Structure 1
Amino acid sequence: MENLVLKKLVIFGVGLIGGSVASALKKAGCVTEIVGVGRSNESLQTAIDLNVIDSATSNIAEAISHADIVLIAAPVAQTPLIFASIKPYLDTNTIVTDAGSTKSDVMACAKEILGDKFSQFVGGHPIAGAEKSGVTAAKADLYLNKNVVLTPNHSTSAHAVQRVRELWQLCGANVTEMSAETHDSIFAAVSHLPHLLAFALVDDIASRSNAEQLFGFAASGFRDFTRIAGSHPEMWRDISLANKTALLNEITAYQNELSRLKQMLENSDGDALHALFERASTARNNWAKLKEQ
């Protein structure tokens, strides 16, 4: 890990995720130049002013010329366009990776668009974030002791995987590997569904005629459950659509659980309610203890 020294890192999407990678690598002192590419000149200038990146450009050929690693940290719906824009200028020595929250779609897209350069691509997903988005929310320790999942397949260069692994380890992350399909199934259940539930509850409350009164009495329970509803709307729209199949399966499973809960209430079945709450409470507390270790 200590041997990774990047002469040039290019980041597409210098927001919370990409900006935090840049900040962490600068802090580690292992990168000479970081170039930002994005849709907003104002945001890129802010990133330069904050010393998150060294320069910014809209010239793709210039941006990725002699780059060691290209990190795509933009919303997942932008990934195909970014692949297409870099393909003509992609050197065989340049490694490409991403930070998207869905992986099957990204891997398929990379294979289709990058073609004979697909082996240079390593799918990645850092399991870290915050309600706030944008480069002003970036911080060097965002990935400290957090999980990062890489999703290489049989075509992926082992050297590329190792270099991307080292990059995330220098950010302080714990890196694991799994298939893209396994990744999407897991995160539909433990990340994507919870976000949809939080968004749906807040939207329901906000649409009611007495919304102001309801929000006025909402306290810590509502705050904790709905915290993630303050997340980036564009990003979560793209994630939901990209992982639609797995997410629909999880919504169905959750609807079935709600139906069972509703039946218990209709039947005034206190024993069944208590048993469900007990199982859930035990599972939640055991999980919390493991996370603290």
Structure 2
Amino acid sequence: DVIRPTFRFLIPVCVVWALLLNSQGVPSTFQGGPTVAVIDQTAELKTQKIPLGPVAPMVAIKQLGSNGGGWYGPNSSSPLENPTPFSNFMEMLAILLIPISVIFMLGFFTRRPKFAAFVFGSMLLMSVISISAAVWSESLSQTASSMSVMEGKEMRLGESSSAIWAAITTQVNNGSVDMMHDSAAPLTGLVALSNMLINAIWGGIGCGLIQFIIYLFLAVFIAGLMTGRTPELFGRKIEAGEIKLLAVVILIQPITILGLTAIALFFP
């Protein structure tokens, strides 16, 4: 179960993505980076070493694996990690690729393609609403001041592409960025926080699907109570024991976040 998906799927798709990114100018080398003269030279600083390395393979793995982060501190806002519009598109696509494929894998293994289509449609609707709200928020703030809205964003990518990335990376719990999220418009920040809280708009590989099914169990249980029928899913009854376990799962997140925050604030 570990070896087959690793060698038959993960490594091949990472090789393809690394080659595509490298074709756009993302570095892929084991040699040390060059030393260049800086533009604004001072007595203390005349040269700068450009850090290079196997950036393309690293970015392919971290994007496809929804690991987040990046080779460079600013992640994909760095032109070495994300040099062109096509590389920007490929990196955003990589974030979504495997979480979406897991949904269709679910339909294949359960032999319920309609259920997979239902899950995909629900997540897609939430994704479109999330992305639309983020892009609308950034475009609205641009009308007020085109210069202020670009603070923390790359001019070569623009505010719309930055908003799409911000929505997608938080939908999948990827964590990589092509802009500084604290520079986003307030509604864009709310979208990002909401995506992380819901954790079922695609979500991390597998865990987003699990969270969606947890919500589905709750919805079926509540609908059964409203209609007076015994809640069932796939012919299996959902009873008090299952609902207690679901309640524990849902409460783990706020208890962990708020509980540890309270402990941190309690001690000086």
Per the normalisation by structure 2, the TM-score is 0.27
Identify, as 1 or 2, the structure richer in strand: 1
Structure with larger RCO (C-alpha < 8 A, sep 6+)? 1
TM-score, length-normalised on structure 1? 0.25
